[in-house]
A and B are shown apart, each in its own frame.
Chain A
Amino acid sequence: MQPLVDNVAVGEMLRLHGISRRGFIKFCTAAASAMALPPWMGPAMAQQLQNAPRPSVIYLSFQECTGCFESFTRSFAPTIESLIFNVISLDYDDTLMAAAGDAAESALAKAMHDNFGKYVLIIDGSVPTGAGGGYCTAGGKSAVDTLRDAAKGAAAIICVGTCSAFGGIPFADPNPTDAWPISAIISDKPIINVSGCPPIPEVITGTLLQYVTTGKVPDLDEHLRPKAFFGTTIHDRCYRRPFYDQGKFAKTFDDEGARNGWCLYELGCKGPTTYNACATTKWNGGTSFPIESGHGCIGCSEPGFWDKGSLYSPLSATDWGKAGESSPRQVLELAAGAIAGGAVLGLASAGSGRLRQYRSEHPLDSEPKDS
């Protein structure tokens, strides 16, 4: 797919598509709302976008399930179409583009060459380094090499999805392909992690739009995630929080509590430890989010969430259970062993005490002296 029009300002592009000034303000207001930016930012963004050049964007997919890309294309506001045609020029995306094979590869090379140092690299999927990168190759080239080449000319890298941000499923124990998150391979480029499995559509496009409009990396938390979306935990924004505070918990998925929409903490909800925007931005255009539809949050935007025990055991429960053995039994065994050990030590100590008493009594042959 040939890039439509090179370096035409966004505003100019909109007018070409018959989008009026008010239509564009509406578009930016919706984007600002999606990005949980303050409402007055919408018109300000519209003003700034008028004359911003349309950045080139390259979308690389590695060891991933295309869930993130599905989510990316499901974005309601701003819609993917408006994004592609109006704001960014998506120069390479092996899923969307019509070209394939060598044509696709040459398109990628051209895109990287023409906009060297200026294009935005979007990546989903982790990068397998096992077997010399042999687990994931395209056109005979391993993902690791493709990543390194693409990264050289990138102005910034946006890692979409927990796989590219933290390694995700491939990275989970036992990590057969020795998969790595992007930030573990590339360290000389600004990286923005948009984690989630998949991330919320508006969060992906919102982050991209925020980078495009401001040209700067938004402020990030220690996992390099935009604070605009990953600043607070689901728990803090959850509409069921009053039930948590009142101590009203659903005990099973279809008991009276669950039907009344009580807190799902006891059913394993990972809301308190998960930083994401699901509770406010919600999914499917604000329809609902996992907790609102009755299932606990599984913490998909946190590093290593696959390895943090059962999705249904409460957050504060420990799970020592070796395969098939419940924790209480293990606690019993541990305690019994320790108590036995303590008893032996106690016997030794008391025994030596009594022995001393016996020895100190007998030579004097006086009445038993003790108290």
Chain B
Amino acid sequence: MKEGIVESPALGANVAGAMKGFAQEIGALSAFRLESCIHCGICADACHYYIATEDPQYTPIWKVEPFKQAYKRESSAFAPLFRLFGFKREVTADQLAQWQHLLFDSCNMCGRCSLICPMGIDVAALIEQSRHAMFEAGLAPKELYAKAAHQQLTGQPESSVEPYRDQLLAIGVRFGVSMPIDKPQAEVMLCVPRTDIEQYPSGVAALARVMENLGISCTFRSDGLIAENYGYFAGAKEWQRVISLRLIDQAIACGATTLLIPECGHAYTALRWEAADLYGKELPFRVLSVTEFLADELKAGRLKLAKAAGPKVTFQDPCQLVRKGGVTEAPRELLKAMSVELQEMENHGGFSFCCNGGGGVIDIKQAAPLRYRIMEVKMREIDATGAPTLLTTCSDCRRTFDDAQVHFNWDKKPNSLLELVASNLLEAGTGP
């Protein structure tokens, strides 16, 4: 089940100390969630890892068990009694090490379990917190730890052959679209997933072309160019804050009123919902996903779209954007405007299954075998729609489906909604 437990050189080698610290940090809300579980096991029926493997260890609430144990022992009402009579043992290092596989390799943080819990527990939020504890205990997977550390220092998860700023300008030239960068003043600040810069330049061009068409004053900022946040995946709360701070500072620097999140799921969660809390006060600008933004522009009549000819389409709802973020209608409005014939999957919208790559799992090598096994649940559902084209609005989903296409020699390839919109714009914009 687990090839090797990777000890990443995190803060404290002292696992129990990290756990104790974690348990004592728990606030009223998380404590209430840990208190409410009645061990009914229903959350397993929402999780694609359990559905595909029928392996009880993948029960979502089970992933939180050591932290529930630590909470009961350290800061619950009867903690002194638990300690005195030894009802709850201290969480040990090797016990926690077992949980790396459960909390990272087999959890996309997709939040589907939180919808099924009869007690209403937000299991996904507990898992997110548990990843913080794992990181504190030095048990984050090495790939995620490395990318988070690198991004915390340099602003990008890996070092790139060429600076992303130059690659961005090259894309502009290649696709013949203006790439506004480092403008001192702009209404909207843009950023892109580094995945798009390297693997899907057409996505970056599409973003620029749409903004150009809408004639909105916007700019990229080279010091806040990358949308992803590996601190979020690795559970490194402090690093997640530093990474988000870069984008926040840049947005403030250029006086933007809107920070536009590109087609990237977890970036939306990190910036739309968690950045302000880490920042400690309200952000002086609004944060919008590009899909959401375009739907508003469409409704406002500023965005004009042509009828997109072509075969039937099925849409993969990115979990972080749709289920956890609430951007459910926007993509469908855009598709309707282009009168694209949408063939919904059996589980779609807020209930869609995850693409299996989310939560940083796509980056964890040792998680790959299990991930491919779980992938079949999603692929079967996509094939069942009978629609030949797969569309999504998240680069990690796109990357995961591409990887699956190679692995399974699958007859479908993921396409970006933004690119579809960009290729069906009607009237040319009035120029920059």
Contact = CB atoms under 8 A, between A and B. Distances in A.
Contacts of A353: 24, 26, 75
Given A349-B79, A357-B25, A360-B24, A371 B241 contact: no
A261 to B, nearest CB: 48
B77 A345 contact: yes
B241 A367 contact: yes
B14 to A, nearest CB: 14
Contact of A349 (B30, B77, B129, B237): B77
Interface size class of A (residues with CB under 8 A): 10 to 19
B129 A356 contact: no
A369 B77 contact: no
Given A346-B77, A353-B75, A366-B238, A371 B27 contact: yes
Interface in A240-257: none
A369 B238 CA distance: 9
A370 B28 CA distance: 10
Contact of A357 (B24, B129, B241, B280): B24
Contact of A371 (B76, B77, B129): B129
B341 to A, nearest CB: 44
B324 interface: no
A371 B237 CA distance: 11
B248 to A, nearest CB: 14
Nearest to B132: A371
Interface string B204-247: 00000000000000000000000000000000011001000000
A368 B278 CA distance: 9
Contacts of A369: 25, 237
Contacts of B26: 353, 370-371
Contacts of A367: 241, 278, 280
Contacts of A371: 25-27, 29-30, 129, 132
B21 interface: yes
A356 B24 contact: yes
A43 to B, nearest CB: 67
A27 to B, nearest CB: 69
Among B29, B75, B129, residue most surrounded by chain A Cβ atoms (within 10 Å): B75
A371 B241 CA distance: 14
Interface in A340-371: 345-346, 349, 353, 356-357, 360, 366-371
Interface of B: 21, 24-27, 29-30, 75-77, 79, 129, 132, 237-238, 241, 278, 280
Interface of A: 345-346, 349, 353, 356-357, 360, 366-371
12 contacts: A349-B77, A353-B75, A357-B25, A360-B25, A367-B241, A369-B237, A370-B25, A370-B26, A371-B26, A371-B29, A371-B129, A371-B132
Given A357-B25, A367-B280, 15 more contacts: A349-B75, A349-B76, A349-B77, A349-B79, A353-B26, A356-B24, A360-B21, A360-B24, A368-B280, A369-B237, A370-B25, A370-B26, A371-B27, A371-B129, A371-B132
